[in-house]
């Protein structure tokens, strides 16, 4: 699912109007019906609503929603926020329609802002995606008042004051803090940024049948990976396949006291479908691996008892390296040997990334299209500090282009960046996955998919999706608080089954 910038959103609306031979006000009506459908599913007819409408098309959406709610029997109080003398044509059309069935109230200055009743749900339709400067005057004071109120708040399309373009964002700006944001057709980029969470709240995309032709043909920098996107990646198995068909992965890592990480990665690699897997650990990991993962083979250098060191011989296996590795100086040298001995894409996580952050000159030796899976702090060690989400994404693009690699920046809506700067945000997963070993499981899954000859960018996108999906399935049984990395592994197979069931 492509993510559009404000200009593309405007073009998409106009293209739809021309393609479907409808008026802009009819398209607005279509959007209003979808919002009202959502509201009626979630709120009893006894619920009161207070709608604040600006003077542009976002305000027009609010007026249309108010009219439809009133017709359904809801108690709705509508305020028009008179911050300017100018209005949009669709706003004018909808205010005339609404005047026929109710009395509108107008807020013309800060002193005319009325108290907000406790028993009402607030709907924010003051300013939309077209905003290009920070809030001031009446809008700023009103938004501050709304934020102070304890009421539940629903934003239409985007919370008032929030820019679609990340580079314009500042923590000093006044922005409405919504509990829920209802948008149309595709998410907006700010929805996927950690710093915006308190403004966006939970968000939902409502389809209003905008032009599929435009969406298909327009290029975007960002995409949001959905189940429909995942179903386009082939995970079919031919009848006469054998274990050699699905590759041989080598999971390298572990140190004394950290063998659990390599166990988790190895188990996940197998569950994700690789034909063969070898765990490469110090000697202290051999008995543990052979006992806990009987399906895996084991190897290691002699006499590495407590951490990995020494030589490494290229074996043509697909390598995933880092879980539990440690950062001993001899292990650092060993990692560099592995990188130089490998000519095909590899997966690097955890301490492998921390070692590269200490030895940045080794990054140039990475095989093309290798996949690095840092969490935010590990990423910061690689690229340096950044002040905001916009700078973070710019550094993400710059790094992948410079080193011709793929970065999986872990977190809510994990961001996967390809060497050409395209970023894919993931749609699965939950906060329960913020637990020890979760990243080791992801390393195993992506390494498995890479060994199965998926293209590196596909292995990263599919691996992150399955990892999150397994977490979502697991949380339905354990809840989020009690979720563990082992629960993720148990649900990898179920995630595959769910994907195939609906494909």
pLDDT along the chain (503 residues), means of 10: 94 97 98 98 98 98 98 98 96 98 96 95 96 93 97 98 85 93 96 94 97 95 96 87 94 97 98 98 96 96 91 92 97 97 97 98 98 97 94 97 98 97 98 98 98 98 98 98 98 95 59
Q: Is 112 annotated as a binding residue?
A: no
Task: Note the pLDDT of residue 106.
Answer: 97
Helices (H), 87-196: 89-99, 137-148
Distance, CA of 340 to CA of 430 (rounded, Å): 37
Q: Is 439 annotated as a binding residue?
A: yes
Structural domain of residue 466, as residue ranges?
A: 230-501
Domain containing residue 464: CATH number: 3.40.1190.20
Q: Is 129 annotated as a binding residue?
A: yes
Q: Is 410 annotated as a binding residue?
A: yes
Residue partners of 214: CB distance under 8 A and separation at least 6: 11, 12, 15, 16, 19
Q: Is 440 annotated as a binding residue?
A: yes
Task: Note the pLDDT of residue 503.
Answer: 47
The one-character DSSP state at 75 is E
- Examine residue 461 and state whether it is found in any structural domain, yes or no: yes
- Examine residue 225 and state whether it is found in any structural domain, yes or no: no
Q: Is 305 annotated as a binding residue?
A: no
Total domains present in the chain: 2
Last residue of a domain, one of 175, 202, 220: 220
Q: Which residue has the tokens 């690095």?
A: 372
Q: Is 444 annotated as a binding residue?
A: no
Ramachandran area for residue 213 (φ above 0: left; ψ -120 to 50: alpha; else beta): alpha
Last residue of a domain, one of 200, 220, 240: 220
Q: Is 414 annotated as a binding residue?
A: yes
Q: Is 144 annotated as a binding residue?
A: no
Q: Is 128 annotated as a binding residue?
A: yes
Q: Is 389 annotated as a binding residue?
A: no
Distance, CA of 483 to CA of 433 (rounded, Å): 7
Distance, CA of 379 to CA of 430 (rounded, Å): 21
Q: Is 275 annotated as a binding residue?
A: no
Residues 75 and 133 in one domain: yes
Q: Of 297, 221, 190, 308, whose CA–CA distance to 259 is shortest?
A: 308
Last residue of a domain, one of 197, 220, 243: 220
Task: Note the pLDDT of residue 502.
Answer: 56
Residues 215 and 244 in one domain: no
Q: Is 209 annotated as a binding residue?
A: no
H or E segment to which residue 279 belongs: strand 276-280
Q: Which residue has the tokens 């802002």?
A: 113
- CB hemisphere CA count around 418 (13 angstroms): 15
Q: Is 160 annotated as a binding residue?
A: yes
Q: Is 310 annotated as a binding residue?
A: no
Q: Which pair of tokens denotes residue 94?
A: 């909808």
Distance, CA of 32 to CA of 369 (rounded, Å): 45
Does residue 339 have a cis peptide bond before it, meaning omega lies within 30 degrees of 0? no
Q: Is 351 annotated as a binding residue?
A: no
Q: Is 124 annotated as a binding residue?
A: yes
Residues 8 and 145 in one domain: yes
Q: Of 6, 42, 39, whose CA–CA distance to 166 is shortest?
A: 6
Contact 223, 422 (CB under 8 A): yes
Residues 414 and 454 in one domain: yes
pTM to 2 decimal places: 0.95
Domain containing residue 122: CATH number: 3.40.50.10260
Strand 423-426 and strand 297-299: the pairing is unpaired
Q: Is 349 annotated as a binding residue?
A: no
Q: Is 40 annotated as a binding residue?
A: no
Q: Is 328 annotated as a binding residue?
A: no
Q: Is 311 annotated as a binding residue?
A: no
Residues 344 and 489 in one domain: yes
Residues 156 and 257 in one domain: no
Q: Is 61 annotated as a binding residue?
A: yes
Collapse the DSSP code of 415 into the 3-class scheme (helix H, G, I; strand E, B; otherwise coil) and give the result.
strand
Q: Is 2 annotated as a binding residue?
A: no
Residues 208 and 242 in one domain: no
Q: Is 13 annotated as a binding residue?
A: no
Q: Is 326 annotated as a binding residue?
A: no
Does residue 303 have a cis peptide bond before it, meaning omega lies within 30 degrees of 0? yes
- Examine residue 124 and state whether it is found in any structural domain, yes or no: yes
């Amino acid at each position: 699912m492509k993510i559009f910038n404000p200009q593309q959103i405007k073009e998409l609306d106009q293209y739809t109007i021309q393609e479907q031979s409808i008026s802009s006000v009819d398209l607005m009506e279509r959007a209003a019906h979808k919002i009202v459908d959502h509201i009626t599913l979630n709120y009893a007819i006894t619920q009161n609503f207070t709608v604040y409408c600006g003077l542009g098309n976002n305000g027009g959406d609010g007026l249309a929603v108010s009219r439809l709610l009133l017709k359904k029997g809801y108690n709705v109080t509508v305020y028009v926020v008179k911050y300017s003398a100018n209005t949009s044509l669709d706003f004018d059309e909808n205010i005339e329609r609404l005047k026929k069935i109710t009395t509108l109230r107008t807020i013309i200055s800060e002193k005319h802002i009325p108290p907000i009743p406790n028993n009402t749900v607030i709907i924010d339709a003051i300013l939309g995606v077209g905003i290009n400067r920070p809030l001031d005057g009446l809008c700023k004071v009103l938004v501050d008042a709304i934020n102070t109120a304890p009421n539940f708040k629903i934003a239409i399309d985007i919370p008032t004051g929030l820019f679609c373009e990340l580079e314009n964002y500042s923590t000093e700006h006044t922005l409405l803090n919504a509990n829920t944001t209802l948008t149309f057709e595709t998410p907006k980029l700010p929805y996927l940024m950690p710093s915006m969470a308190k403004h966006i709240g939970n968000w939902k995309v409502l389809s209003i049948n905008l032009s599929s032709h435009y969406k298909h043909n327009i290029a975007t920098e960002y995409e949001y990976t959905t189940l429909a996107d995942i179903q386009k990646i082939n995970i079919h198995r031919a009848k006469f396949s054998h274990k050699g068909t699905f590759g041989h992965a080598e999971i390298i890592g572990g140190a004394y006291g950290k063998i659990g990480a390599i166990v988790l990665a190895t188990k996940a690699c197998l569950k994700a479908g690789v034909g063969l897997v070898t765990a490469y650990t110090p000697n202290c990991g051999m008995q543990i691996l052979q006992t806990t993962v009987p399906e895996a083979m084991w190897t290691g250098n002699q006499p590495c008892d407590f951490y990995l060191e020494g030589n490494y011989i290229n074996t043509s296996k697909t390598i995933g390296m880092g879980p539990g590795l440690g950062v001993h100086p001899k292990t650092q040298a060993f990692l560099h040997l592995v990188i130089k001995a490998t000519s095909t894409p590899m997966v690097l996580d955890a301490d492998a990334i921390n070692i590269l952050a200490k030895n940045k000159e080794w990054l140039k030796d990475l095989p093309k299209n290798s996949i690095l899976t840092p969490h935010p702090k590990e990423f910061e060690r690689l690229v340096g500090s950044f002040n905001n989400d916009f700078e973070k994404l710019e550094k993400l693009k710059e790094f992948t282009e410079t080193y011709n690699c793929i970065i999986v920046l872990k977190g809510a809506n994990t961001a996967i960046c390809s060497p050409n700067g395209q970023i894919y945000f993931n749609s699965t997963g939950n906060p329960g996955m913020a637990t020890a070993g979760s990243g080791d499981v992801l390393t195993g899954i992506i390494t498995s998919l890479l060994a199965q000859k998926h293209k590196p960018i596909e292995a990263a996108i599919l691996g992150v999706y399955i990892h999150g999906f397994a977490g979502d399935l697991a949380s339905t049984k354990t809840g989020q608080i009690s979720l563990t990395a082992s629960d993720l592994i148990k649900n990898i197979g179920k995630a595959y089954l769910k994907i195939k069931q609906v494909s």
